[in-house]
Structure formats: structure tokens, C-alpha cells
A and B are shown apart, each in its own frame.
Chain A
Amino acid sequence: GENVEQHPSTLSVQEGDSAVIKCTYSDSASNYFPWYKQELGKRPQLIIDIRSNVGEKKDQRIAVTLNKTAKHFSLHITETQPEDSAVYFCAASVQGAQKLVFGQGTRLTINP
């Protein structure tokens, strides 16, 4: 079955700097890769996703890149702000299977 590895487990950056979180997956059939953000005490919420027919997707300050050959994908947050502090989870699934396998999570802290 699918296995998703996420690094780093914790990340601390200065406000205004960029943050990058990386994930690798094992199943070459996976073709849907979402990222969820979980603020302290809250539920996970989807912030961006990418499908395997594209290599990059952007939404304002966040972007996701996908390398299908290497089976890894990354979340990029630019111009970080205090409200970006949260736990971020990557996930992978075969599109249409509607069953996600999550990474271990990254706790991102933005220092003022």
C-alpha cells in the first residue's frame, strides 16, 4: 500500500521568510496530493492540492510542486506570517479512490 513520508517534523522560520515542507510517496499510481493545515485545537482543513497532470500550483503565498519521477512533492509558503503557524499534513491517494494516506505532519512556527 501507499506510504507517505514527511519532513521536517518541526520547522521554525522568521516572519517574512519562506518555508518548505517535503513529502515522498511510494505508490506510483497515486495521482492526487493535498495539503491540510491544522491550527492549534482546530480541525485539519485543505489549503491546496495538486493532481499528477501538473507540476506546480500556486494560490497567493502558497504553492505546491510535484516531481512524479522522484515521487516527491513539496509545499512552499512565501512571506510567512504569524497566522501560518500550524501543523501541516501532506497526503496522497489514487484519484477517485477517495482514500488518503497522510504524512506524519510538520509543526511550523513563525517567529516574529
Chain B
Amino acid sequence: DADVTQTPRNRITKTGKRIMLECSQTKGHDRMYWYRQDPGLGLRLIYYSFDVKDINKGEISDGYSVSRQAQAKFSLSLESAIPNQTALYFCATSAPARDEQFFGPGTRLTVL
């Protein structure tokens, strides 16, 4: 089945380290998103991309950067991780002219 996958699924890192979270999809969708989930705050959009050459900031992009290496791959980087970036991170995709988003399984990131 076509799916959205994320690696790693869990990661513990230290303050100041650079870390990359990766997202891949076999759905053939052109639109990809990165969210973070915190208890009581819901899902907040970090970055989104409508194609390889189109990258847009979401509501909480500070401290993060992204790379769209191909239609099927969208990576999220934390250049210098800090403890308040500890969260559950989700990648999502959607098809052109369709509103439903399909989520990956999530990456639980802990910054010590």
C-alpha cells in the first residue's frame, strides 16, 4: 500500500546538536508538510512544500529548516537543537486539488 514513512521513529539528542528528520512517501502526492505535536497545543505547521521548488514557512518555523530533495522526500532539520523542541513530529502529504492530508507515523524527538 502507498504510504508515508518517517525516520527515525525515536531520537534522543543533546542541546546544540544538529539533527535531521526524514520523510518519504509512495503516494505520488506533490504536497508535503511538517507538523509538531505538543500536549494541549494540537498540531502546528512548521513548513510546507507544494513541489520541489516551492518551500513555505508555517506558523512556527523559527529554529527549523527543510529540504525537498525530490517529490517523494521532505526533510526537517534542527540546526542547533534546544530542549523546547522536544515534541512529536509528523510529516503529512496531500494530493493536488485534494484537501485530505495523510500523516506519517511520527518521530518522537527528545532534546536533553
Interface residues of A (CB under 8 A from B): 1, 6, 9, 32, 34, 42-46, 49, 89, 91, 93, 95-96, 98-105
Contacts and interface: CB of A to CB of B under 8 A. Distances in A.
Interface in B55-112: 58-59, 90, 94, 97-101, 103-106
A44 B103 contact: yes
A104 B40 contact: yes
A22 B103 CA distance: 23
A100 B33 CA distance: 10
A68 to B, nearest CB: 17
B105 A43 contact: yes
Dominant secondary structure at the A interface: loop
Contact of B90 (A43, A49, A93): A43
Interface residues of B, number: 23
B30 to A, nearest CB: 10
A46 B43 CA distance: 14
Nearest to B40: A104
Interface centre among A1, A91, A99, A101 (most CB of B within 10 A): A99
B33 to A, nearest CB: 8
B48 interface: yes
Given A89-B43, A102-B44, 5 more contacts: A6-B42, A43-B90, A99-B48, A100-B101, A105-B40
A3 B50 CA distance: 22
Given A1-B59, A44-B90, A98 B99 contact: yes
